Amino acid sequence: MTIDLAAVDKADERPPYRQIAAALREAIRRGKLGPGDKLPSESELVDHYGVARMTARQAIQDLKAEGLVVAEHGRGVFVRSVPVVRRLASERFARRHRDRGKAAFSMEAEKVGYTPGVDRLSVTEAPATSEVAERLGLAVGDAVVIRDRRYLANGEPVETAVSYIPADLARGTAIVESDTGPGGIYARLEDAGYTLGHFVEEVAARMPTPDERRALQLSTGVPVMSVVRTAYDTTGRAVEVCDTVKAAHAYVLEYDFPAR
């Protein structure tokens, strides 16, 4: 064990497992354990601190719950590396202007070592649920086109996105195709005569459901950001609702808005 860890302090009122967790946390914070580094194994901790296995495990459990480390079965526990995808709200739609968007995007990509991608795309049509209907200004049960997809960064899933578009807007356009063409569905909506006016995003954070944890391959203790975006055309009609769930460790959202 290269990092030096103090012994459990009897005088310390904190329980041993917290002291051990704090020592490891401190080692990470000070950079003695960098991203990707391997923590001491359970038995090393047992030997070093003279505690039971479950006690060492509980310390590691705490760090996992904080999202600071990731356990890999049969390999060890590793400090999480934090690749952050930083996205400015306005930039996220810059791709409508194809060339400019591509340039801005790849520049951003280079900066953070981000290689984008989509897998698991599905396009279906179904009746609107009450949540979607309310946001789109439809009646419950009205037909909507649903585009469900998963985004990857560096080969790892980081976001799921489900778009809902009123079926009468989407039918007969590339919106119902797998490949929506240059500029994506927003460009197709504008082609169809719906000039986009503004977006509303609702941002929340919470722990993932088991389903979400599976879909995003999240380990214990990683929260998700839920971003529900509603797009309105210039007449104020809601033309799309996009419900995204992002792995929190992979995103910093940026919003720029005027005073007053």
Under a CB-based contact definition with an 8 Å cutoff, are residues 119 and 152 in contact?
yes
Stretch 55-94 residues interacting with DNA (CB under 7 A) = 55, 57-58, 60, 71-77
Residue type, 132: V
H/E stretch holding 190 reads helix 184-191
Under a CB-based contact definition with an 8 Å cutoff, are residues 217 and 157 in contact?
yes
| Residue 201 interaction partner, one of DNA, a copy of itself, none, beta carbon < 5-8 Å per kind | a copy of itself
Q: What is the spatial distance between Cα 74 and Cα 71, in angstroms, rounded to a whole number?
A: 9
Q: How far is the CB of 16 from DNA (least distance, A)?
A: 4
Report the residue from 27, 28, 39, 170 that binds DNA according to the rule CB under 7 A: 39
Report the residue from 54, 82, 203, 205 that binds DNA according to the rule CB under 7 A: 54
Q: How far is the CB of 38 from DNA (least distance, A)?
A: 7
Q: What is the spatial distance between Cα 109 and Cα 200, in angstroms, rounded to a whole number?
A: 25
> 143 or 219, CB closer to a copy of itself?
219
DSSP letter string over 146-165?
EEEEEEEETTEEEEEEEEEE
Stretch 131-160 residues interacting with a copy of itself (CB under 8 A) = none
Report the residue from 77, 165, 167, 231 that binds a copy of itself according to the rule CB under 8 A: 231
Q: Is 210 in the site for a copy of itself (CB under 8 A)?
A: yes
Report the residue from 9, 29, 35, 44 that binds DNA according to the rule CB under 7 A: 44
Classify residue 231 as exposed, middle or buried by CB count within 10 Å of its CB (0-12, 13-18, 19+). Answer: buried
H/E stretch holding 20 reads helix 16-29
| Residue 53 interaction partner, one of DNA, a copy of itself, none, beta carbon < 5-8 Å per kind | DNA
Rg (CA), the chain: 23
| Residue 194 interaction partner, one of a copy of itself, DNA, none, beta carbon < 5-8 Å per kind | none
Q: What is the DSSP letter of 3?
A: S
Q: Is 31 in the site for a copy of itself (CB under 8 A)?
A: no
Q: How far is the CB of 121 from a copy of itself (least distance, A)?
A: 24
Q: What is the spatial distance between Cα 137 and Cα 207, in angstroms, rounded to a whole number?
A: 29
Q: How many CB atoms lie within 10 A of CB 54?
A: 11
Q: Is 198 in the site for a copy of itself (CB under 8 A)?
A: yes
Q: Is 22 in the site for a copy of itself (CB under 8 A)?
A: yes
Q: Is 10 in the site for DNA (CB under 7 A)?
A: no
Q: How far is the CB of 83 from DNA (least distance, A)?
A: 20
Stretch 91-110 residues interacting with a copy of itself (CB under 8 A) = 93, 96
Q: What is the spatial distance between Cα 136 and Cα 49, in angstroms, rounded to a whole number?
A: 58
Q: Which residues bind DNA (CB under 7 A)?
A: 15-18, 39, 41-44, 51-55, 57-58, 60, 71-77
